Structure 1
Amino acid sequence: MPPSPLQRHDLLAPLHAQIRRLVVGVVSDVRTTGIDYDAPKGDPGLFGPDSATWRIHADFPAMMAGGLCALMLQTLHPRALAGVWDHSDFRNDLLGRLRRTTIFVGGTSFAPTAEAEALIARVRRIHTRVQGVTADGTPYRADDPELLTWVHCTEMWSFLQGYRRYRRPVPLAIQDRYYDETARIAEALGAADVPRSRAAVEAYFGRVRPQLRYDERSATVLGVLDRAALPVMFGHAIRPVFLGAGAALLPDWACTLLRRGRLKRMQDAAAARSLALVAPAIRGALREGVATRSCRRMGVSPALLDRW
């Protein structure tokens, strides 16, 4: 006789607890965001439970792989990369950048309205202090509307591809709706001419590609990412799986720029298969995450996020 749902839960509980510890160790640290995702009741935040954004951003495996893909893409833009190079301790704390991105995306996606708006205002203030010149002397500012659009597009494109690959297919109309919804975050940060559909995003990448390049700085940052020590048990084994699963999402033109040859892409595909295999266990372990709490804040079942 197969085990009952309750028995299966009891059998999986130790595994889920271990996975939660691993995930929290990677994406969190001793600092807390101070965000209360449980109140006030009935506050939908910037998107709400009927949005495509809540559905796509609720899937941790897809978001983790997508975030790493976006980071790889962002190393190709000299002005965007210069801000990381000049104003962050990426050699010792590149994981911190991923954590801060996770907090920002999670908060602006699911937090109550006031909390989400406060996060945006905080990032805007930080951006005003990030400025300088690239290696070839070109001025840059983190609050440059063009750079904000680049960062936004790489992230949303990557999150969507991660969901499509590691969770389930996304209807074309929902993809367009997702880009249209999330554009409000980029615009609130100061981005300009933000693409609001699949076609517009692809056209945008086509326009910006002549500005992109893989140089010594790109190689250095990606090298640090490849060697990043994860502060959890089995971190050395987890890192290449998520990195490869993120790289597997890269568009062909980016793989060419990043010099990911046939062997590398085969390794990325193997990592993607590994993530796809463990993704259900990760979802089970994180079923009480911020998306679930936010659904309860709105008085709806988290199961709603499994339906388009």
Structure 2
Amino acid sequence: MDSSTRAASGLRERLGSAIFTRVAGPAGLENRARIHGRPGPRWFGPDRPIRTVHGDASMFIGGLRALLLQSLHPLAMAAVAAHSGYRGDPWGRLQRTSTFLAVTTYGAADDAQQAVDQVRAVHGRVRGTTSSGESYDAADPHLLGWVHVAEVESFLLAHQRYGEAPLDPAGYDGYIADTARVAEALGVTDPPRNRKQLAASLGTYRGELRPTEEAREAARFILLHPPLPWAARAPYALLAANCVASLPRWARTSLELPQLSGIAEACMAPTGRALTAAIRWAMTPPPPTVVNAQVPRDSGTFGVEDG
């Protein structure tokens, strides 16, 4: 291996490790070993679309988009603002979410069920009243349904735009059907199972969505003031810009985000594809050699990818 190859390999390892640690947390390596190494049946086989989507670096943009879109339901946003601690511990919240996605997507069936049971127990304790006097309950199937469809649409759209290998229409329908299994386990009633049903479900919530000051504050925190070192601010800004560009115009208006022209959006997309490709490169080890033949394949996204 020549010096330039060694330097590139070292850079890849450092970047990949830094991203993985941020997203998966201090227990990331241990969790990954258990998720992929523990024997037993899985909720989803290796050929299922959910593994393709959740294992791609496009999830970085899709995850940001989901947070912004979800914030536009005032009851969901009130619950997050009062109970999630997203300002005080944003990385912890991300790491818990990424681990949940990884366990339910790739892990043994009993581990997936345990993860769901833990989330349901947390939801059962999250109740309160908004500043306008509306009651919220995180275990409400209708509210859970909004969180689910906003997340699924965001992950799907990001994968269509920035995924390494976008799926065909049947594949994306299969992805939505896969996520419905997790949603039902969490308490969602009759989640959508294809793109037509997903669009219809999103439409039923449109009249309930409205901007609140809490939602706008969350957007400013997520997009403008992330707790990141300066070296990571520029790449994150590109992720955030592509996230904003992918939101529907009404959502951007509600959150007081910049409106981009069609030309600006078209120019933005290549930056998103380049950045997700760079993340994918950093988190995927080089082909095995005699020296590193036992190195496992790292994740392309939120934590752990199938080996």
Shorter-chain-normalised TM-score: which range?
0.7 to 0.9
Q: Does 1:91 align with 2:87?
A: yes
Aligned match of 1:286:
283
Say which is worse superposed, 122-131 or 281-290, in terms of deviation. Answer: 281-290
The whole-number CA distance in structure 1 between the counterparts of 2:91 and 2:223 is 11
Aligned match of 2:289:
none
Contact 1:63 1:162 in 2 (8 A): yes
Per-residue CA deviations over 1:91-117 (Å, capped at 9, x if unaligned) read: 322343222221211221111222211
The whole-number CA distance in structure 2 between the counterparts of 1:50 and 1:28 is 24
- Calculate the aligned-residue CA RMSD, in Å: 2.7
The whole-number CA distance in structure 2 between the counterparts of 1:48 and 1:73 is 30
Code of the aligned partner of 2:195: R
Task: Pick the aligned partner of 2:212 from 207, 212, 215.
Answer: 215
The 1:265–1:189 alpha-carbon spacing in structure 2 relative to 1, beyond 3 Å, is farther
Aligned match of 1:243:
240
Code of the aligned partner of 1:279: T
TM-score (norm 2): 0.84
The 1:295–1:223 alpha-carbon spacing in structure 2 relative to 1, beyond 3 Å, is closer
The whole-number CA distance in structure 2 between the counterparts of 1:8 and 1:56 is 33
User: For structure 2, which runs of at least 5 residues remain unmatched after alignment?
Assistant: 285-296
Secondary structure in 1 matching 2:128: strand
Per-residue CA deviations over 1:199-243 (Å, capped at 9, x if unaligned) read: 111111111101001121111111221243444461222321221
Aligned match of 2:120:
124
Task: Pick the aligned partner of 2:63 from 62, 67, 70.
Answer: 67
Aligned match of 2:288:
none
Secondary structure in 2 matching 1:148: helix
Contact 2:17 2:283 in 1 (8 A): no
1:21: how far off?
3.1
Q: Does 1:45 align with 2:42?
A: yes
Say which is worse superposed, 148-157 or 86-95, in terms of deviation. Answer: 86-95
Say which is worse superposed, 7-16 or 192-201, in terms of deviation. Answer: 7-16
Contact 2:23 2:94 in 1 (8 A): yes
Secondary structure in 2 matching 1:92: coil
Aligned residues: percent identity?
Answer: 33
1:29: how far off?
3.2
Contact 1:95 1:228 in 2 (8 A): no
Say which is worse superposed, 263-272 or 26-35, in terms of deviation. Answer: 263-272
Secondary structure in 1 matching 2:136: strand
Per-residue CA deviations over 1:246-278 (Å, capped at 9, x if unaligned) read: 222223332333333435987776554323113
